[in-house]
Chains A and B, each alone.
Chain A
Amino acid sequence: MLAALVTGIATGAVYAAVALAYNLMFSTSKVLSVTTGHLCMLGGVLGAWAMGNAHLPMPVALALAVAGGGLAGWITDVVAIRRVLARSDEHLWLLSTLALATMLQQAVGLWWGTEPKPFPRLLAQDFGAGLGDQKYWLPVVVAAAAALGLELFYRRTLYGKLFLAMSEDAFAARARGIPTDRIRSLSYVMAGMLGALAGFAAGQLTFAFFALGLTLTLNGFIALAVGGLGSNRGALAGGLALGLVNSLATYGLGGEYQQTISVGLLLLVLLLRPQGLFGVRALRPV
């Protein structure tokens, strides 16, 4: 039971981190990118390659993974978002990010192999630590630090305030002289770095696996929709709720119905509170 709780909190933290990355990109572009989970996957795979195959020290591997995630985020913006946002068709960004996510996943699959590979130890710790093992608390620490850092960033820095301005009204922000394209690129790079950091920290829990991206995209989105789109507090709460429900259901019913139960949670919340737990009710788009 305790093991199920700890596992639930740890996986929930990964989902919460993905939901935070979703939020970061959504704030400046109003786009929910399908590549979000793949950024996280990239962090895990790059970290495992750098530490396991290239035998680089941990900080270098971390820097490499984060840089790779940031690059992937930047590519998402340049390739899949920038040209598409200029047109007013709202479906196109879904298609372009889906295409990019597919390419990313398949490229990693061809390069890294389609088997999940173990992630090396990040910190020197005995394997006998049980539930105090680093693979359980590292994702939680990273997700909490990311949420706290984003909160400070939004409240204390000029760039954070620019993000907030763009999330309120991108046209008005542009009219006030904010370089909206550059700010959007910055937000995608930051989201990529955040996702990769989370994937790196959670690597020992999830393994370095190329198909992880799609699962994380879906589950991170469920966490986001449950918590409320655009709210970082909601992302944390939704992620934790999803992780706990998943692992307790696995504990009680066996692992076969995991996906069914997480979608059930999503439908339940959307029925009762369509805007999510911490979301703001949207106006009718007339």
Chain B
Amino acid sequence: MLAGALFLIGLPLLAQDEYQLHLACLIGCYWILIAGLNLAVGYTGQLSIGHVGLLAIGAYVFAILAGRNGVNPYLALGAAGGMGGLCGLLLGLPSLRLPGFYFAMSTLAFALIVSELILAQGGLTGGGVGLAVPGFPKPVDTPAGFYCLVLAVSAVVSLLAWNVARHMWGRALIAVRDSAVAAAAVGVPLFRLKLTVFVFSGVTAGLAGALFASLQSYITPDTFVFDLGLFFFVCIIIGGRGSILGPFLGTVVLTVLPEAVAPLARLGNFFYGLLLLMVVLLLPEGIGRLVSVLRERFWPVRLESVAVAPDLPRLARALGHKQP
């Protein structure tokens, strides 16, 4: 745990070139979104495939405020998070009442609507041409400094998510995922809980969008294709539902893998789909479960048979029989 934290902090010193650092920042941005989304998808079982819409909203709010109106980037970052939360609330209010497939389809529709509105409101968002996004002021203007900012935000978000997950809240979320009826019967306020978690995931998506936009330095509607939303979703499912570390590893691996293995990048979505299908069919608990499955396969826990000899005289005494 400590070694991992030290590694993350020391990464700017270890990285050989700026590209690796860029990749690390990208992973950080994705993780900020996925940490929030994981609470909604992995813990609560609300399968939102359209979070890319919230990411786009955060990115555009940041670009418009900080780039065009000259607002302080840190304020703009906060505003992006707030706007993400607000849009999450607006999306969640009607759609979280709907059952599984209806909810997934309404988030998909939301993602399409957002890109449609971005194209339609060309005066505000630059339309299909896109917007230039400013960086952050000193001392965050270098790649290493920006990495530290991303690291700080993702640490805070991870801590929040972890705190939610391991306390009573997290238990309630898992109860909602496993059986909504049973959860309601033991007094979990279903709708309010789902809405709160969804708004939280909206805030993290907005923050992630702002940082993502600043990292990319230029955004167009094509930056936020639906496939990106699918990617977030796959990261969580592959990592394993109901865990924090699993989706984190999923994010890292799925971001790095297409960069490292060129043929995979060409296959793109096909690869993600195949991976998702294999995980759903073979390991519905996620890759994290693979370790324990393999361990049970190769080093099965021996069930030792213990002979139980009845103590007949004591039994007889207990039953009140006379000793022969």
Contact = CB atoms under 8 A, between A and B. Distances in A.
A interacts with B: yes
Interface of A: 32, 79-80, 83-84, 87, 89-92, 94-96, 98-103, 105-107, 110, 214, 218, 221-222, 225, 256-260, 262-263, 266-267, 270-271, 285-286
Nearest to B281: A83
B100 A94 contact: yes
B281 A256 contact: no
B59 interface: no
Given A102-B230, A214-B226, A263-B109, 17 more contacts: A79-B281, A83-B281, A89-B284, A91-B100, A95-B47, A98-B49, A99-B274, A105-B269, A106-B270, A110-B267, A214-B108, A221-B105, A222-B109, A225-B102, A256-B116, A256-B120, A263-B110
A79 B277 contact: yes
Contacts of A107: 270
B281 A103 contact: no
Given A84-B280, A94-B100, A99-B274, A106 B269 contact: yes
Contact of B281 (A84, A259, A267): A84
Interface in B255-272: 267-270, 272
B112 A218 contact: yes
SS of B interface (majority): helix
Contacts of B268: 106
Interface string B78-120: 0000000000000000100010111011101110110011011
Contact of A96 (B49, B120, B270, B280): B280
A225 B273 CA distance: 26
Contacts of A271: 94
Nearest to B272: A102
B229 to A, nearest CB: 11
Q: What 4 pairs across the A-B complex have the smallest Cβ distances?
A: A102-B273, A256-B120, A103-B273, A99-B277
A99 B276 contact: yes
Given A91-B47, A92-B284, A259-B113, A286 B181 contact: yes
Given A260-B117, A263-B113, A95 B280 contact: yes
Contacts, number: 97
Interface residues on B, range: 35 or more
A246 to B, nearest CB: 13
B94 A98 contact: no
Interface in B125-164: none
A218 B100 contact: no
Nearest to A80: B277
Contacts of A32: 101
B237 interface: yes
28 contacts: A79-B277, A79-B281, A80-B277, A90-B100, A91-B45, A94-B100, A95-B237, A95-B276, A99-B273, A99-B274, A100-B273, A102-B230, A102-B269, A102-B276, A106-B267, A218-B108, A218-B109, A221-B105, A256-B116, A256-B119, A258-B116, A259-B109, A259-B112, A259-B113, A259-B116, A260-B117, A266-B106, A270-B102
Nearest to A214: B226
Interface string B229-263: 01000000100000000000000000000000000
